[in-house]
Structure 1
């Protein structure tokens, strides 16, 4: 089983509009509402691809009740810690005239120390029967930046593998817990390592490989640096790979990173070789962009795209 942890869950609403001019009234002609937050997106993709998964994290208020009820309807197992306050709303406005996506994200509720202790106990219990525990997303108010590292320590002690997909100070602090896998983007890896790079420059890639080796020495075996539509640069225990995603006509790119993490988690749980694992994760992440809603993939799309992914070992 795979467990996903979403500390700042949300109801994700995606609005499709003929156009989205600022300062004017816009009417939505198509809307989707889904349980969201990055970890819940990961859980949904894992479930859609047929692998057992349980979602946990914090939920509060009427929005939290709606998320639980909808996850039940979608057949996704969950075990969330209840908190005071209202889980947030996150809006994604897609302008169909130009394909531009505009996101508006609420900060979320403030979490008490008692709720954090309760969730830590839940994570420990779920990790004991999980192969992998994925931590994804931002930290809500009241949660210290050290919390991810604390939870990662609990997961590792329970014998499971920890994934971490977050940003900013939560990432810089979370890596101190030495998760198995992290997925920073280009800006985040610069913040983490203090070194800029050009994915198409051989000298810069060599420098990045040397920098990533420091993360491996620290105790983080697997790193995927997201390059957006250009794919990713991945380092697995010293072996570096460049993955290039197939070209598609994207419908909605929100959630592609979460789908990538889901694919990587499944590939890791199935003990696929590194190259196959990267190719599968890339296909799953790309498949998300073919759907109207974030955190959704079709298995047929994944299998078709898998044959079009290019993965090259660089060293």
Structure 2
């Protein structure tokens, strides 16, 4: 089994309007509401790939009930810690006249020390039943920056493999715990090195440096340009299928889902990277984050190129 952890779960709501103007009354032509947060997106894609997955994290109020119920409708087991307040809503407004996106992201409920103890106990129980545990997304208000590092230690104590996908202080702290897998994007990798940006020629060396910190699998995602990976000391360049993306939200989560799914099945490094890149590409062809068409995914797996560095 794979467990995903979303500490700041959300309802991802998308509004489509004919033309978005500040100060104007907006008529929504179409809307989508999905159980969201990065870990929940990972769980949705793992399930669509055919994996057995349990989603955990914090959930609050009627929004939390919607998130849990929607995941269960998809065949995803849930084991959330309930907290007071309301899980957040992340609103994405799409201007159909030009395709631009405007996002409004709520903070989510405050988390206290007792609730952190409860999520640690829940995670330990789930990790004992799992081969892979994926920690994804931002930390909720009230959570210490070192929380992911502490959760990684709990996962490692059960012999499950810890996957980490976050940013900022949570990433810096989490890396010190040496998770099995991390997926920074190019900006997050540059920040880890104390740089504003990296030139394209610097990506492989930067990824290798991160891997040398004791992390078995490092995948640096580069959007439509693919990814650079170091897995067990070997470097790879991943060239994705050529597509005209519909929506790039959730592509990184889909990449993580593909890696976790392939990891549980014992795939070799090149196959892992093909599955992950194909899942990301399939997500880009859907208007929902954390969603893939399986037949399209299968076509894309054949098109992904993995080149040894």
Are the equivalent residues in 1 in contact too, given 2:208–2:235 (CA < 8 A)?
no
TM-score, normalised to structure 1, is: 0.94
CA distance in 2, matches of 1:89, 1:139: 15
Q: Which residue of 1 aligns with 2:250?
A: 255
Q: Which residue of 2 aligns with 1:275?
A: 270
Is structure 2 residue 29 aligned with structure 1 residue 29? Answer: yes
Q: Which residue of 2 aligns with 1:197?
A: 198
Q: Which residue of 2 aligns with 1:108?
A: 108
CA distance in 2, matches of 1:16, 1:303: 30
What SS is found at the alignment partner of 2:46? helix
Q: Which residue of 2 aligns with 1:51?
A: 51
TM-superposed deviation, 1:161:
0.3
TM-superposed deviation, 1:127:
0.4
Aligned residues: 308
TM-superposed deviation, 1:244:
1.6
TM-superposed deviation, 1:95:
2.0
After superposing the two structures, state which structure 1 stretch, 242-251 or 49-58, moved more: 242-251
Cα deviation, 1:185-211, whole Å, max 9, x if unaligned, reads 111101112354322x3xx34xx42x4
TM-superposed deviation, 1:48:
1.2
Is structure 2 residue 88 aligned with structure 1 residue 88? Answer: yes
CA distance in 1, matches of 2:97, 2:302: 31
Are the equivalent residues in 1 in contact too, given 2:207–2:220 (CA < 8 A)?
no
CA distance in 2, matches of 1:95, 1:131: 42
What SS is found at the alignment partner of 1:247? coil
Query: Unaligned 5+ residue runs, structure 2?
Result: none
TM-superposed deviation, 1:73:
2.0
What SS is found at the alignment partner of 2:303? coil
CA distance in 2, matches of 1:183, 1:128: 24
Are the equivalent residues in 2 in contact too, given 1:83–1:112 (CA < 8 A)?
no
Is structure 2 residue 290 aligned with structure 1 residue 295? Answer: yes
Are the equivalent residues in 2 in contact too, given 1:215–1:221 (CA < 8 A)?
no
TM-superposed deviation, 1:172:
0.7
Query: Unaligned 5+ residue runs, structure 1?
Result: none
Cα deviation, 1:122-144, whole Å, max 9, x if unaligned, reads 10000001010000000001100
Is structure 2 residue 79 aligned with structure 1 residue 79? Answer: yes
CA distance in 1, matches of 2:306, 2:102: 31
Cα deviation, 1:153-176, whole Å, max 9, x if unaligned, reads 000110100000001111111111
Q: What's the RMSD between the two structures over aligned residues? A: 1.3
Q: Which residue of 1 aligns with 2:63?
A: 63
After superposing the two structures, state which structure 1 stretch, 182-191 or 240-249, moved more: 240-249
Q: Which residue of 2 aligns with 1:215?
A: 210
Q: Which residue of 2 aligns with 1:170?
A: 170
- Kindly report structure 1 stretches of 4+ aligned residues shifted beyond 6 Å: none
What SS is found at the alignment partner of 1:307? helix
CA distance in 2, matches of 1:23, 1:197: 39
CA distance in 2, matches of 1:136, 1:153: 16
TM-score, normalised to structure 2, is: 0.96
